[in-house]
Structure 1
Amino acid sequence: MSGQVLDRVGHPPTGVREDPGGFDLRAPEGTRYRVDLTADVFGPRNALLADRLEGRRVVAFVSPTVERLYGGRLRAYLGAHATGRWTLHVIPTGEHHKTLGAAEHICALAKSDGLDRHGVMLAVGGGIVADVVGFAASMYARGVRYIKVNTTLVGQVDVGVGVKTGVNALQTKNMFGAYHPAHASLNDPAFLATLADRQIRCGLAEIVKMAVILDGDLFRTLEEHPDAFRRPGANGVRDRARVDLETYILRTSMRLMMEELCPNLQEHDLARLVDFGHTFSPLVETAGGHRLQHGEAVAVDMALSAHVARLLGLADDETCERIVGLLRRIGLPVFDPRTCTPELMTQALRASWQRRGRKLHLVVPTAIGKAAFVAELEDVPTDVLEAALASLAARGGRRDA
């Protein structure tokens, strides 16, 4: 490629490269993919999605909400721009529908529609749609292309920038899955304007995660603007300052996530800073019958992990209070009395220990923008866990937003 920077042996350098249109990632083991940011992705003059489809046979899958809000525009876009045959299906969402059976159903629909090995599955929706369709694509005919158009904040800052796909099984979150990079990941910030506050809060939980472990400036921005992505301007139009603020938050979080994933894309090293908030939260979700959404469970986990860090002497009181305080100001839960019991949270620690190769690798904050690992299960004594839970319970897990 003309003008491309190469390393000493003639290969493009590894890492994440940011440009005005998005991000390119090249992992050390050779995986490459791009994450795009665009405006009016289904607009008749925006050829980005059409370019990524490359004239291939398309089977599209959308959530009911996407069908209601954007189904007509998507069909019009595919009708005008998809040069190959295409079909569209509405699939149910929610953690209860994130199953192996759902992935098999997607494969059955694709087969019925005549999708061949050169075709592409198109997922338009939030993280669950991307996860299930991506997993189906990884299995179908031993793997076909898929493209995801991420319509939620969680989808854009988390699922949309990684390579993991999966479904829940055996009473375990994301038990079955595959590393299957999307052929394209398209993100239009305008989708965020239609989200309910609860969905925005869940996305902000994942952004807080990245700020706590890696970026103090991003954390301070969130402290100053805990209502990011939620406060409409006059006539529902955000002013330029607000747009610039939210663009900074969105792009910074996406870049941090991709940079952290890049050297360890397929998790050969099971000690990962991006697992902050993801040790206790799987059981908080499943044991609670998915009453809390993923981002809410992650917030509970982060609050608990911050208190564990404080009690172990790894973080000071101010760091702990700032983390828990920001979560509350955003409106996220920091304690769930039904699941935040010593028995269940000990069970969560043991499950994570087993899943991570019999090492705990609990990520805890040590300062704002910095984190460390608690490596061994015995490094979190029962009395510390009980005291951390008691500290959160004493304040009732209330939200200050």
Structure 2
Amino acid sequence: MSGQALARIEGVLEDAGGFDLLAPEGTRYRVDVTESVFDPGNPLLAEYVAGRRVVAFIGPTVHRLYGDRLRAYLDARLTPGSWSVQVIETGERNKTLASVEQVCAVAKATGLDRHGVMLAVGGGIVADVVGFAASMYARGIRYIKVNTTLVGQVDVGVGVKTGVNALHSKNMFGAYHPAHASINDPALLATLPPREIRCGLAEIVKMAVILDGDLFRTLERHPDAFLGAADGEVETYILRTSMRLMMEELCPNLREHELARLVDFGHTFSPVIETAGGHRLEHGEAVAVDIALSAHIARLLGLADAQTCERIVTLLRRIGLPVFDADTCTEELMTQALQASWQRRGRKLHLVVPTGVGKATFVSELEDLPADVLREALRALAAEGGAR
């Protein structure tokens, strides 16, 4: 699709090579889906760099798997001396302002100018840290994401938010800074451990529950997708549908001027589950617990029937995700989570709950969620033996 045609059509346009987004407020960006991104015969990444200086940031595990290929690609495609590769620490404990400052310090030490590019190669944490650094460095420079995890390809990699944890809160500091390019190579998922695949599937379940019954039913038929139990065609459908749904939902409200967002499903209780548990659960696992708890709340409020609730919780379990965590799923902590979300969302709760498979609504006010409903929802999950 040409830029001229794109300029006339707000929304998300899909083609064989990926997705273009043009938001009503004028922001546009593209998410590419490609094969063999680090093969020197693939010009995509080099074309986005377009002769600029580059500092690539990569986590230790991804560096071990793909570092040599990344260097070989940059060596073959870019001008000698115009690029460097820096390994940075990953994990939620390193998603901090200190890490952002370190990225900026490396960029400055390597002579990265305002026309330069930061390249983030990794999962969501690398993208968040490097993206936030790029939004700050020299008052904002380009950055490119090569998303190597399932969460990165269907969630972080298709949006414009960057951020780090601070003040005992997830993503307290951040910026809306669209990437110059965001590249997804599905083949990179083959080296992910099962736990990381399941975390990505939690974000896909999120989108299926709120927006797409067909996607949900596909996941019910293939709960082991991306773990060697589904064919490539099914996985391609799951990946591309998830990317498209996320981009379509983000597009009209890209910078979150409206604080009631369906894509916040699974993200009301999960920040406290993560932080209070010392990040013992991965982000996707905490999201899964949140989804299960929200499904039970919907059932108890009469917004969803028992079968819908059961299907959601059963799918999460079949995937291998936790649906309860005894240490953090306490009435006190989950009430704190509600209060924190209420404050963050402009003193409105905006809790997203399912009303059916592929449909959702909001519980907008704190008083619309009585304490006894939260208590009973937690009790129901605990009684089902949800702790993993």
Q: 1:230 and 1:57 mapped to 2: Cα distance?
A: 38
Amino acid in structure 2 at the alignment position of 1:357: G
Alignment of 1:118-157 (within 5 A): 118-157=115-154
Task: Look up the match of 1:110.
Answer: 107
Does the Cα contact within 8 Å between 2:30 and 2:182 map onto a contact in 1? yes
| Alpha-carbon distance change, 3 to 157 in structure 1, aligned in 2, over 3 angstroms | closer
Q: Provide the secondary structure at the position in 1 that maps to 2:258.
A: coil
SS of structure 2 residue aligned to 1:277 = coil
Aligned length: 387
Q: Is the 8 A contact 2:293 2:323 kept in 1?
A: yes
How far off its partner does 1:12 sit?
2.1
User: Do structure 1's residue 164 and structure 2's residue 161 form an aligned pair?
Assistant: yes
Q: What is the deviation of 1:66? A: 1.1
AA of the residue aligned to 2:10: T
1:176 to 173, 177, 188: 173
Residue 59 in 1 paired to residue 55 in 2?
yes
Q: Deviations over 1:297-320 (max 9, x none)?
A: 000000000000000000000000
2:19 corresponding residue in structure 1: 23
How do 1:1-400 and structure 2 match up within 5 A?
Answer: 4-5=4-5, 11-83=7-79, 85-231=82-228, 242-398=231-387
Residue number in structure 2 paired with 1:236: none
Partner letter of residue 378 of structure 2? L
Structure 1 stretches of at least 4 aligned residues deviating more than 3 Å after TM superposition: 1-6
- 1:360 aligns to what SS in structure 2? coil
For residues 363 and 176 of structure 2, the distance between their equivalents in structure 1, rounded to whole angstroms, comes to 26
CA contact (8 A) 1:56 1:83 kept: no
Once the 2 structures are TM-superposed, how far is the Cα of residue 83 of structure 1 from its aligned partner?
A: 2.8
1:238 matched residue in structure 2: none
**Counterparts of 1:112 and 1:393 in 2: how far apart (Å)?**
52
* CA-atom RMSD in angstroms: 1.2
Aligned equivalent of 1:237: none
Uncovered stretches (5+) of structure 2, i.e. residues with no partner: none
Helix, strand or coil for the counterpart of 1:227?
Answer: coil
CA 1:2 to 1:16, structure 2 compared with 1: closer, same or farther past 3 Å?
A: closer
Cα deviation, residue 3, structure 1: 8.9
Question: 1:320-361: per-residue Cα shift (whole Å, max 9, x none)?
Answer: 000000000000000000000000000000000000000000
Q: State how far apart, in whole Å, the 1-side matches of 2:62 and 2:317 are.
A: 29
Do 1:169 and 1:176's aligned partners in 2 also have CA atoms closer than 8 Å? yes
Equivalent AA in structure 1 for residue 360 of structure 2 = A
Distance in 2, Cα, partners of 1:65 & 1:36: 23
Residue type of the partner of 2:77?
H
Distance in 2 (CA, whole Å) between partners of 1:52 and 1:83 is: 14
AA paired with 1:22?
A: G
Deviations 1:236-266 (CA, angstroms, capped at 9, x unpaired): xxxxx71110000000000000000000000
Q: Distance in 1 between matches of 2:366 and 2:79?
A: 55
Provide the C-alpha distance between the structure 2 equivalents of 1:25 and 1:195, rounded to a whole number of angstroms. 28
Query: Taking structure 2 as the reference length, what is the TM-score of the superposition?
Result: 0.98
What letter is aligned with 1:45? Answer: G
Sequence identity, in percent? 79
- Once the two structures are superposed, residues 198-231 of structure 1 have per-residue CA deviations (whole angstroms, 9 ceiling, x without a partner) of 0000000000000000000000000000000002
Q: C-alpha distance in 2, partners of 1:4/1:337?
A: 54
Quote the Cα distance in structure 2 between the aligned partners of 1:398 and 1:105. 38
- Native 8 Å contact 2:325 2:387 kept in 1: no
Secondary structure of 1:108's counterpart equals helix
Q: Determine the C-alpha separation between the residues in 2 that align with 1:44 and 1:278.
A: 39
